[in-house]
Structures are given as structure tokens and as C-alpha cells.
């Protein structure tokens, strides 16, 4: 019963958050002299917010640093408003979509390597977001499993043969 209420609550928050973002993000960028187009779509454990504008590079930044900052700020604001059930993943100019594709490729290649050589493969240190993409990409793979080792900022995924 309380679970049903939680679900209803989450659903309500999602609607409120979407309305807020559709107003807040264009206004924020307008303040910085940019005209943007925003799209919000619900994904399994996040709300994916994609922003399109003429010159996305500025707001993506080196290795996506500025994009990460913007995402952090927006999630902070959502928490302040007590919309704790909702987290957003921010994308600008399709940067994150491309990153996700690259990471999925890395995951599949590592799985192939593990199967071919029968040895675990250790990936480069990655952000929590990137590691999660690797884990989810391979979670239903029948021949390998994944886990993370070491601590931030050196935390990285190991792909190993399923016993």
C-alpha cells in the first residue's frame, strides 16, 4: 500500500519536475543569451533531458565538465524543492548520447576479449555514470559478469568470465 503511494508520489513528482524543467532550462539559457530547445523523456531510473542549441560546445566543456556541472546544479535544485524521487540526466547537443554509445561499444569489446582469451579485462577508471553504462550493457550477457574495483578517482570496471 505504501509502495503504491510511493509510486503515485513519484509519478506526480515526475510531472512537476518536467513542467519545472521546461520552464527553468530555457529561461536559464536565455539569461546567458542562448535560445534552446528542451526535450524531457522518462527513462527507467532517470529523466533524460536533452538541450539543443546553436553552439553546444561551450556548455559541454572539456570532457563534458560544464555539462556535468549544469546537471549537478539542476539536480541540486530539484532536491531543494523536495523532489527527491527524481534525478535527471542532462544532455547537450547529443554529447551524452554519443558517450553512451562509445561506452556500450567498450563494454561489448571487453566482453568479446574476455570470452576469446578466458581472462578478466580491466577497463580504464571511469565516472560512476560511465561505469553504470558498462554494468547495464553487460548485465544480461550470459558469458561475462562485471564488478568494480579500487576507489575514486581510480575506480574501474572489471569484466570477467561467468563461472
* Cα 97 to Cα 141: distance, rounded to the nearest angstrom: 22
Q: What angle do CA 128, 129, 130 make, to 5 degrees?
A: 90
Crossing angle of helices 95-117 and 128-138, in 10° steps, is 50
Q: Measured from the CB of residue 160, what is the shortest distance to other proteins in angstroms?
A: 33
Q: What angle do CA 76, 155, 86 make, to 5 degrees?
A: 25
- Considering just the CA atoms, what is the radius of gyration of the chain in Å? 18
Q: Measured from the CB of residue 52, what is the shortest distance to other proteins in angstroms?
A: 17
Residue 14 sits at φ, ψ, to 5 deg, of: -60, -40
Q: Measured from the CB of residue 67, what is the shortest distance to other proteins in angstroms?
A: 10
CB-wise, 12 or 76, nearer to other proteins?
A: 76
* Cα 2 to Cα 133: distance, rounded to the nearest angstrom: 31
Q: Measured from the CB of residue 80, what is the shortest distance to other proteins in angstroms?
A: 6
CB-wise, 96 or 114, nearer to other proteins?
A: 96
CB-wise, 3 or 31, nearer to other proteins?
A: 31
Contacts with other proteins, residue ranges (CB under 8 A): 24, 27-28, 31-32, 55, 58-59, 61, 65-66, 68-70, 72-73, 76-77, 80-81
CB-wise, 68 or 161, nearer to other proteins?
A: 68
Amino acid at each position: 500500500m505504501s509502495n503504491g503511494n510511493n509510486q503515485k508520489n513519484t509519478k506526480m513528482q515526475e510531472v512537476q519536475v518536467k513542467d519545472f524543467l521546461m520552464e527553468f532550462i530555457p529561461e536559464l539559457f536565455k539569461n546567458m543569451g542562448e535560445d534552446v530547445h528542451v526535450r524531457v523523456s522518462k527513462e527507467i531510473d532517470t529523466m533524460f533531458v536533452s538541450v539543443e542549441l546553436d553552439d553546444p560546445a561551450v556548455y559541454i566543456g572539456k570532457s563534458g565538465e560544464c555539462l556535468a556541472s549544469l546537471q549537478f546544479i539542476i539536480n541540486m535544485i530539484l532536491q531543494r524543492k523536495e523532489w527527491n524521487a527524481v534525478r535527471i540526466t542532462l544532455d547537450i547537443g547529443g554529447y551524452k548520447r554519443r558517450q553512451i554509445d562509445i561506452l556500450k561499444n567498450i563494454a561489448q569489446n571487453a566482453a568479446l576479449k574476455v570470452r576469446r582469451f578466458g581472462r578478466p579485462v580491466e577497463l580504464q577508471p571511469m565516472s560512476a555514470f560511465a561505469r553504470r553504462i558498462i554494468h547495464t550493457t553487460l548485465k544480461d550477457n550470459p558469458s561475462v559478469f562485471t564488478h568494480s574495483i579500487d576507489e575514486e578517482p581510480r575506480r574501474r570496471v572489471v569484466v570477467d568470465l561467468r563461472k
